[in-house]
Structure 1
Amino acid sequence: MSVFDDTRPIFWQIAERIEGDILDGVLPEEGQVPSTNEIAAFYRINPATAAKGVNLLVDEGLLYKRRGIGMFVAPGARAIVLAKRRGQFYRQYVQPVAAEARKLGIGVAELTELLHRSAVEHEGTPAP
């Protein structure tokens, strides 16, 4: 069984997993990131694929290289990932839900109540 989604390039998924670790605090700002060889060995993928995923994050300013030492999480990386993911969340989830709610005649107040109820059911407490 593969740990990757076969419908998307593995290097994107590697980048997303590193982003997730940055968001979760597993990889703190200024913290060292596993080497591309370590990533490749862990996931049993080609090191070039791992490097491509890491380099995506370098290009986005989330990681930087310390010559001879390795890759590190850039200052402000968590805020960048958070803003990026919030934008994706809005486009992938909020907009389609709002469009479907309009089709069903669900107004803003009712939609807000439905979201609140779902948050309580799944988390046990209302979302802030």
Structure 2
Amino acid sequence: MSASFHDNKPIFIQVREQIEDQIVNDQLKEGDQAPSTNQLVQFYKINHATISKGITQLVDEGILFKKRGVGMFVAEGAKQVLIEKRKQAFMEDYVIGLVQEAEKLQISDKEMIELIQQAKKEI
């Protein structure tokens, strides 16, 4: 986890995304106990309400679940839910614009695939 934040998003969203990243990257697996709100407050040195807002969203979406008196845990299927959500966001944020620009430039599907393969080789 990184303790630094940037100004382009609210902090509670950044905290939430860092927990999501840990799940997607298998640092937190299904059934694992997630860091407590108090641990996150101490780590990030930010307001309890800010942390709680991000955690509550994850609970509301079924990514985390609470065990009364024990803590917060990663829900079964959470990783797949996050991957599907991120694939959809990837399409909306990147692919649609890419396809629209390719259409303007009259780039065929085959050419687009070749360009993507070339880009993958360069990274």
* Higher deviation after alignment, 68-77 or 34-43: 34-43
Within 5 A, what are the aligned runs for 1:71-82? Answer: 71-82=72-83
2:4 partner SS: coil
Partner Cα distance (1:75, 1:62) in 2:
8
TM-score of the aligned structures, taking structure 2 as reference length: 0.93
Partner Cα distance (2:70, 2:90) in 1:
35
Pairwise CA RMSD? 1.2
CA drift of 1:32 comes to: 0.4
Partner Cα distance (1:26, 1:87) in 2:
22
TM-score of the aligned structures, taking structure 1 as reference length: 0.90
CA drift of 1:7 comes to: 2.3
Find out whether 1:10 has 2:34 as its counterpart.
no
Runs of 4+ in 1 over 2 A off after TM superposition: none
Identity of aligned residues (%): 45
Query: Who is 1:57 aligned against?
Result: 58
Query: Who is 1:26 aligned against?
Result: 27
CA drift of 1:45 comes to: 1.0
Partner Cα distance (1:99, 1:42) in 2:
43
Query: Who is 2:45 aligned against?
Result: 44
Q: Which amino acid aligns with 1:101?
A: A
Partner Cα distance (2:4, 2:75) in 1:
27
Unmatched 5+ residue regions in structure 2?
none
Q: Which amino acid aligns with 1:45?
A: I
Query: Who is 1:117 aligned against?
Result: 118
Q: Which amino acid aligns with 2:121?
A: V
Q: Which amino acid aligns with 1:114?
A: L
> Which structure ranks higher in relative contact order (CA pairs < 8 Å, sequence separation ≥ 6)?
2
CA drift of 1:99 comes to: 0.9
Deviation digits for residues 6-54 of structure 1, max 9, x if unmatched?
A: 1211111111111110000001000000011111221121111011101
**Total equivalences in the alignment:** 121
Partner Cα distance (2:85, 2:14) in 1:
15
2:5 partner SS: coil
